[in-house]
Amino acid sequence: MSSSKTVDLATHPLTLWQGPLGLPDFTRIGDNDFGPVFDAALESHQAEIDAIAGSSEAPTIDNTLAALELAGEPLDRVSSIFWCRAGAHTNDDIQALERDISPKMSRHFSAISMNEKLFARIDDLYQRRDSLNLDPETLRVLEKTWKGFVRSGAKLDAEGKKRLAAINEELSSLGTKFGQNVLADERDWALFLDEADVAGLPDFLKSAMAEAAEMRGQKGRYAVTLSRSIYEPFSTFSERRDLRETVFRAFTMRGQNGGASDNTDVVRDMLKLRAEKAKLLGYESFAALKLDDTMAKTPKAVHDLLDPVWQKALEKAANDQKELERLATEAGSNDKFAAWDWRFYQEKLRAEKFAFDEAELKPYLQLERVIDACFDVATNLFGVTFEEKRGIAAWHPDARVFMVKNVDGSERGLFLADYFARPSKRSGAWMSALKSGYKLGPGAKPVIYNIMNFAKPPAGEAALLSVDEAKTLFHEFGHALHGMLTDVTWPSVSGTSVSRDFVELPSQLYEHWLTVPAVLEKHALHVKTGKPMPKDLLDKMLAARTFGAGFATVEFTASALIDMAYHARPDAPAEPLRFEAETLEKLDMPDTIAMRHRTPHFGHVFAGDGYSAGYYSYMWSEVLDADAFSAFEETGDPFNPELAERLRKNIYAAGGSKDPEELYTAFRGKMPSPEAMMVKRGLV
């Protein structure tokens, strides 16, 4: 740790944020800064922990629980910038650092959660909690903190603690390796095509492919990459079946190509360690451990939700496939219908049934207009406004900064957004925070960011989105609002710090406002003419909302069921990919549909611990979001002020300050049944 001696945490730009608007000054941060600052920040945090644990004063909420929550600010700051860079704009140096820092952080936090003196102080408060006269939020934070220590091994013997710390450290390293392997496969694969190969592709896709080729040094050609924003439309519109097959195989084999970036052994080792960790902590499976702190509580409850949906989705997909095979035959195809045919013929079926295709919608879904729509909905529902602040440096020139203000004009926080795909960014879309909002101690205003991977258009052209991409933007912005509207005292229950199967409610619910006719009429304006989407096209789009539900539900639910199958067993499969194949066979998975995320690139579950035994939670939250939006529909006003205020107070602002069921019931008056979700998906 000698490098820490040269770092002054009080003045370093990674820990003293003196850039515009109180952001970090990214112009003064170099890749080589992170290592020494991390070492110094870890040392500083450890000193704070030692002071709290070693205090001679009797434990109080202030000197123990609050001190613990507020400790480690320099570490929080350098971490938030580093993990943002690692996901959104990485390079070889950052990846090497990630491999070094992940196990260090794991060791550090394992030591804290197994610190006997510190746990004794928390335990003392916990045992006296009923006599401390605590407000409900503080009581909840105390209970969650105590449980967190126990679930992190505080009650294990010395040998058990040592083994658990080693497991956590190894899992952390493996998760980093998994994510870097997938990124390598995505970055290193591209299919370069010439004009003759792209005949019939819509202009928006050709533009994106031309830009992707130029970015990879092949100006004048076209590149299919493994970014969803290019892969999916190419699979949908390319007349070339041979190319669709090539791209499909590359996409589904990410992380399973042999060589240095293959994740087969990584997954095997992670599953084995997770099963051992669960056993060590007294749980019958890793799923039981992970679900202990969720709304679902048990693997059985998860299956009670997923299994009926799976059966309905299989029926729907089987009926749809017959229609698609009919179209293929009519088009003169003698080939056996395959997975790389599905999107292509599904688009033809959409055109036949609803007399429009995705390419017709794209010109009306300009990225800038969809961003405006996101902001507009937030203003109408919650009174917050957004103002772009140009010329402020962030982690990449594409990242943009917005000031967020309350209805009275006071500052609420900052929102940053980075919308375009590039080789230095991992795939997918996500929300995170450079800083959470809370009121404890000096308090802090939230600094929240969204990362997307839309295809970047050539200079001077507008970026156009598919309906799915526009929904993704609304979805991630819903998470961002959950972070920005937070109104709690304690950092550990701020914003999205809620149970995993509740965290998707604010994001999935927000998606509903994209297709509110008034929102589309105002913001879905043609890129060339500026005219609103014609009513007949809007009607067709809304009528087609549940089109393709069989395919979409099968590909998603298969991933959720595989995740649960891996983690609900007491041991780990010796050959996970064989287990994946056998489980899908038992489930009657159609060979014409691939899982949305196959095991070797299932980042939600293996690039860290986030959604392990938790991928089901998107659907769990969907039960809530379908019911929550129907509350607005029942009033006939999608912006009903009284409901919007209840929504803000109990869902978006409340964080994890109360039990999720209590929060949802305060908003809606009751808990929902899965029926509304099935109807919304078009499965019943």
| Residues annotated as catalytic (active site), given as ranges | 476
Query: Do residues 249 and 201 share a domain?
Result: yes
According to DSSP, residue 63 is labeled I
Tokens of 452: 């997307």
Of the listed ranges 50-54, 419-423, 557-561, 674-678, the least confidently predicted one is 674-678
Domain end point (choices 200, 235, 253): 253
How many angstroms separate the CA atoms of 605 and 157, rounded?
A: 29
Asked if 479 and 506 touch (Cβ cutoff 8 Å), the reply is yes
Residue matched to tokens 């000031």:
403
pLDDT over 70 at 3, yes or no: no
Angle between helices 264-280 and 158-188 (to 10 degrees): 160
How many angstroms separate the CA atoms of 289 and 382, rounded?
A: 37
What is the pLDDT averaged over residues 598-614?
95
Query: Which pTM value belongs to this model?
Result: 0.94
Q: Domain range for residue 76?
A: 20-155
3-state secondary structure of 47: helix
Tokens of 232: 């999916």
The answer to whether residue 278 sits within a structural domain is no
According to DSSP, residue 387 is labeled E
How many angstroms separate the CA atoms of 173 and 170, rounded?
A: 5
Q: What is the CATH number of the domain that holds 115?
A: 1.20.1050.40
The answer to whether residue 50 sits within a structural domain is yes
Query: Do residues 38 and 151 share a domain?
Result: yes
How many angstroms separate the CA atoms of 57 and 49, rounded?
A: 15
Domain end point (choices 230, 253, 276): 253
pLDDT over 50 at 65, yes or no: yes
Percent of the chain whose predicted confidence (pLDDT) is above 70: 99
Q: What is the pLDDT of residue 680?
A: 87
How many angstroms separate the CA atoms of 679 and 677, rounded?
A: 5
How many angstroms separate the CA atoms of 274 and 475, rounded?
A: 30
How many angstroms separate the CA atoms of 656 and 490, rounded?
A: 10
Query: Do residues 149 and 198 share a domain?
Result: no
The answer to whether residue 51 sits within a structural domain is yes
Across the chain, what does the average pLDDT equal?
96
Query: Do residues 34 and 140 share a domain?
Result: yes
Query: Do residues 147 and 201 share a domain?
Result: no
pLDDT band at residue 5 using 50, 70 and 90 as cut-offs: low
Compute CA distances 181 → 178, 215, 588, whole Å: 5, 21, 30
Beta pairing, strands 385-388 & 400-405: antiparallel
Is the four-CA dihedral 495, 499, 504, 505 of positive or negative sign? negative
Is the four-CA dihedral 532, 535, 539, 540 of positive or negative sign? negative
The answer to whether residue 36 sits within a structural domain is yes
Query: Do residues 26 and 134 share a domain?
Result: yes
Query: Do residues 131 and 211 share a domain?
Result: no
How many angstroms separate the CA atoms of 296 and 303, rounded?
A: 10
Asked if 151 and 292 touch (Cβ cutoff 8 Å), the reply is yes
Give the helix ranges, DSSP H, for 389-448.
Answer: none
Q: Per this entry, what is the length of the chain? A: 684
Summarised one tens digit per residue, pLDDT across range 335-394 is: 999 999 999 999 999 999 999 888 899 999 999 999 999 999 999 999 999 999 999 999
The answer to whether residue 350 sits within a structural domain is no
pLDDT over 60 at 232, yes or no: yes
Domain end point (choices 207, 229, 253): 253
Query: Do residues 149 and 26 share a domain?
Result: yes
pLDDT over 90 at 289, yes or no: yes
Compute CA distances 684 → 198, 305, 437, 680, whole Å: 39, 15, 41, 9
Give the helix ranges, DSSP H, for 54-157.
Answer: 67-70, 73-88, 92-113, 116-127, 136-151
Q: What is the pLDDT of residue 357?
A: 84
The answer to whether residue 465 sits within a structural domain is no
Chain-centroid distance of CA 473 in Å reads: 12
Q: What is the pLDDT of residue 676?
A: 84
Query: Do residues 40 and 140 share a domain?
Result: yes
Query: Do residues 57 and 140 share a domain?
Result: yes
According to DSSP, residue 649 is labeled I
Compute CA distances 429 → 291, 452, 454, 476, whole Å: 24, 5, 9, 7
Kindly give, in sequence order, each residue whose CB lies less than 8 Å from that of residue 62, ignoring residues fewer than 6 positions away. none
Q: What is the pLDDT of residue 4?
A: 44
Between 680 and 95, the more confident residue is: 95
Our count of domains for the chain comes to 2
Rg (CA), the chain: 25
Query: Do residues 83 and 209 share a domain?
Result: no
pLDDT over 80 at 486, yes or no: yes
Q: Can you spell out the DSSP letters for 490-541?
A: -GGGSTT-S-TTTTTHHHHHHHGGGG-HHHHHHH-B-TTT-PBPPHHHHHHH
Tokens of 638: 């999608």
pLDDT over 50 at 1, yes or no: no
Asked if 60 and 93 touch (Cβ cutoff 8 Å), the reply is no
3-state secondary structure of 453: strand
Query: Do residues 30 and 120 share a domain?
Result: yes
Asked if 658 and 136 touch (Cβ cutoff 8 Å), the reply is yes
What is the pLDDT averaged over residues 300-309?
95
pLDDT band at residue 434 using 50, 70 and 90 as cut-offs: very high
Residue 393 host element (H or E): none
The answer to whether residue 275 sits within a structural domain is no
The answer to whether residue 578 sits within a structural domain is no
What is the pLDDT averaged over residues 69-81?
98
Count of C-beta atoms within a 10 Å radius of residue 86 = 22
